A and B are shown apart, each in its own frame.
Chain A
Amino acid sequence: MNSSTLRDGTLETYLNAARERGLPLSEIFLEREAQASGRPKEELVALMHTRIAVMRHSLKRGLTSPQRSKSGLVDGGAHRLMQWSKEGNSLLGPAFTKLLASALAVAEVNACMGRIVAAPTAGSCGVMPSAIFTVAEEKGIPEAKLALAFFTAGGIGLVIEKLASLSGAEGGCQAEVGSASAMAAGAIVEMLGGTPEQVSAAVSFSLANVMGLICDPVLGLVEEPCVRRNALGALNAVSCAEMALAGIPSLFKADRVIETMGKVGRRLPEEFRETAKGGLALLQPEFNQA
């Protein structure tokens, strides 16, 4: 791979490199990272395993001990959902409820000043662990392949950062939860042996589904509606990965959809970009606690 050919940073360039060399996209991103950082691939893979371990730790913590935030806006939702599922109430089966609960778990740990991996941001940290781990568990994906999936996710994130934005203050929730779901969806498609076209389609679908989603945190805190938007993101990621893997084609190249998300984000009024001056942030929370 000639590094200059990948310098423009579009997803299409990386996908082309993967096609030409018959390599998975994760391998292309891993090589790029090794070149850019000057660190050997083995070291980077080992570092990714440590990030995965932190994700698993925060996920387990949120599922097993109810997380309550200082503000009271977060009150053990993930734990409650797991209890509900254990009692056999799950609407679409335990895996589906696990997906939702996992996203809440990590996002709640974040809201309660626990340790998380910002992926791509702290506000959207529940999406990737939930979507990628839940599918990997269902499909029996080995740990080594899981680490590579996160290189795919990270590489897609870098493309979004370059062509649009990963910041709620710049692009609204679509730039955080939307981007996290696009990263997770692409990673899941590759993890399950999808083609580069299918990765691209999964990224396009994920961003298209939440195009224009605003960032309107109640009291300016990363809690409401942020925590449940993480569940939305995880659900979005898995749905789009499945639709792409089934062969539903995207009408647009992923790069164009990413750019469009960036343009929409820049045109969002400031009150919808993390300032807590619009949307749900204007509502007065009404507590209905036992």
Chain B
Amino acid sequence: MGIFDVIGPVMVGPSSSHTAGAVRIGLFARRLLGSGPKVANIGLHGSFAATGEGHGTPLALLAGLLGLQPDDERIPAAAELAREQGLDYRFETVDLGDVHPNSVSLNLDGEGSSLEIMASSIGGGRIKVWRIDGFAVNLDGEYPTLLLAYPDRPGAVAIVSAILANAAINIATLKAHRTERGGQALMAVQLDEVPPINMLESLRHLPHFEQVRFIPALGFGG
């Protein structure tokens, strides 16, 4: 926390958790998808479903999916923007279980990629992304983040940490989950710095990893 977290962020109202946090969840999902989504099925859970409408939560989620920042005054017009940009969206009420009351599930189709993501807005505009494509994760969007999908076998973590060490990039957090022993695995690495583009390319060329995705830090704008 710093003074500009207290005198800030600059945001479109009315609620840091129901509005600003929802924009940031949408933005995170858009960046992870790697392109603007064409189809979005959005499930609102708990307080997002109950009081979301009055707080502009659906508009805020759409705005994030369209790439708007939390302080963008076009957020109230996000539904029109979505139509203009050809985003086909649908909202429904869902029960995601015993999770934070301000939670959402997003099923997205982009250009040649699709994504399922579940996240919560945990207060003050901060977010927690807790599921990606069925894998448990714990990401807050505050760091440049690497996501690697691969068949579970020995050595994956060692390879990633060696390549990062070579580039002198510090790992803030690293978590790997798998469906079962020898099944599919997903590694999520939050970094202290943005990795050079050629490092991402070399990771993508390795036979170990089926998919290497990079999400820049979200920041707070303003």
Contacts and interface: CB of A to CB of B under 8 A. Distances in A.
The answer to whether A and B belong to the same complex is: yes
Interface string A169-183: 100000000000001
Given A118-B8, A121-B124, A122-B11, 16 more contacts: A33-B3, A50-B222, A54-B10, A113-B19, A115-B10, A117-B9, A118-B20, A122-B20, A125-B13, A150-B7, A151-B3, A154-B6, A158-B2, A166-B6, A169-B123, A183-B6
B162 interface: no
A109 interface: yes
Contacts of A117: 7-11, 222
Interface stretch (B69-77, B144-152, B188-196): B69-77
Interface of B: 1-4, 6-17, 19-20, 47, 50-51, 54-56, 59, 71, 73, 75-76, 123-125, 222
A51 B54 contact: no
A29 B3 contact: yes
A70 interface: yes
- Output the residue of A44, A114, A155 with the most chain B CB within 10 A: A114
Interface residues of A, number: 48
A78 to B, nearest CB: 14
A216 interface: no
Contacts of A47: 4
B7 A154 contact: yes
A221 B9 contact: no
21 contacts: A33-B2, A33-B3, A36-B2, A37-B2, A51-B4, A54-B10, A111-B13, A113-B56, A113-B75, A114-B13, A115-B11, A116-B12, A117-B8, A117-B11, A118-B8, A118-B10, A120-B7, A122-B19, A154-B6, A221-B14, A222-B13
B3 A120 contact: no
Contact of A118 (B11, B51, B75): B11
B10 A221 contact: no
Interface of A: 29, 33, 36-37, 44, 47-48, 50-51, 54, 70-71, 109-123, 125, 128, 150-151, 153-155, 157-158, 161-162, 166-167, 169, 183, 219-223, 276
A36 B47 CA distance: 35
Given A122-B19, A169-B123, A70 B3 contact: no
Contact of A167 (B3, B50, B51, B123): B123
B45 to A, nearest CB: 15
A222 B54 CA distance: 9
A143 to B, nearest CB: 16
B3 A122 contact: no
A161 B6 contact: yes
